[in-house]
Amino acid sequence: MIARAVVIALAVPISLLYAQAASVDCSRRTAEDYVPITRTERAANYVRSLTGPHAYLYAGVLAGYDQWRNRPKEWGQGSLGFERRFGNDFATHIVTTTLQHGFALGLGEDNRYFSSGAHGFGRRLAYALTSPLLARHADGSRSVSISALGGVAGGSLIEQVWQPRSTSRMGNAARSFGLTFAFRAGLDFAREFAPRAARAFLR
């Protein structure tokens, strides 16, 4: 009897919560929730960027692509070839992330992703695909992200230091620059459209 009363007592608030959540989307942090990033949050965000799941995803995807294209050919195929490419991409990610966060701190830019909160596939798609190139400022406004462009450009150039002869060229740096932004656009697309369970992984 008591158990029944408790279940009924709790069913009301739980249904209230989810009824509320059904009418408005409370499950994701959107652009209207933006608050300026603090230094502690920057530090936490930096650590998360270095060690979070998407760091491994980035290195894995790019290493897989290069393995398929056999670039650089000096690293060969098989698991050893993949390990070398994965190490290369993870090292590039560390350099890029470090440069980007340093620039962002100095310039007061914030490169975190917040869902658009918009309606309509086209608007959301445009928002997601342009997000890697844009940064927010303390007042919430968005402009071209100098820190993201500078960080990725710097990482792509520094990466050439340890590249073998066949890929140690400016063209390879430009390719790495493009691939990194393509990956980020894909990640932001997933963050915008992925179901709730997957978003925790992509955060």
Partner 1 sequence: MKRLLLGLLALSVTAQSPQDADRAVEAVRPAVLWRAPRDLGTENWSCGSAGCAAAPAPPFYFLQEDMEGTFPKLTVKDAHGRSWSVKFGGKVIPESFCSRFVAALGYIVEPSYYVAAGRLVDAGHLHRARHFIHADGSFERARFQLRDPKMEFLKNHAWSLADNPFRGSREFAGLRVVMMLLSNWDAKDVREGEKTANTGVFRAPDGELLYSFFDWGSALGRWGKVMRRTRSDCSGFTRDSPHFINGVRGNVVEWGYSGKHEDDVRGGITLDDLRWLAPYLERITGEEIRAGLEASGATQRQTACWAGALEYRIRAIEAVARTGRYWR
26 near partner 1 (CB under 8 A):
yes
Is 36 in a helix, a strand, or coil? Answer: coil
Distance CA 138, CA 42 (A): 13
DSSP H or E run through 142? strand 142-144
47 near partner 1 (CB under 8 A):
yes
Tokens of 121: 């596939």
43 near partner 1 (CB under 8 A):
yes
Q: In 108-195, which residue ranges form alpha helices assigned H by DSSP?
A: 121-130, 146-158, 170-193
39 near partner 1 (CB under 8 A):
yes
The binder of partner 1 chosen from 14, 80, 144, 170 (CB under 8 A)? 14
Find the shortest distance in angstroms from Cβ 86 to partner 1.
25
Distance CA 15, CA 199 (A): 24
Count of residues interacting with partner 1 (CB under 8 A):
39
80 near partner 1 (CB under 8 A):
no
Distance CA 113, CA 150 (A): 18
Minimum CB distance to partner 1 smaller for 144 or for 174: 144
Residues in a beta bridge with 135:
143
Find the shortest distance in angstroms from Cβ 35 to partner 1.
3
Mask for 142-181, x = binds partner 1 (CB under 8 A):
----------------------------------------
Distance CA 130, CA 110 (A): 15
**Which residues, 115 to 134, sit near partner 1 by CB under 8 A?**
117
Which listed range, 38-46, 62-70, 121-129, 174-182, lies at the site for partner 1 (CB under 8 A)?
38-46
Minimum CB distance to partner 1 smaller for 4 or for 69: 4
User: Which residues, 6 or more positions from 11, have their beta carbon under 8 angstroms from its beta carbon?
Assistant: none
Cis peptide before 13 (omega within 30 of 0): no
Interface residue list for partner 1 (CB under 8 A): 2-3, 5-7, 9-10, 12-14, 16-17, 19-21, 23-30, 32-33, 35-36, 38-40, 43-44, 47-48, 108, 117, 137-139
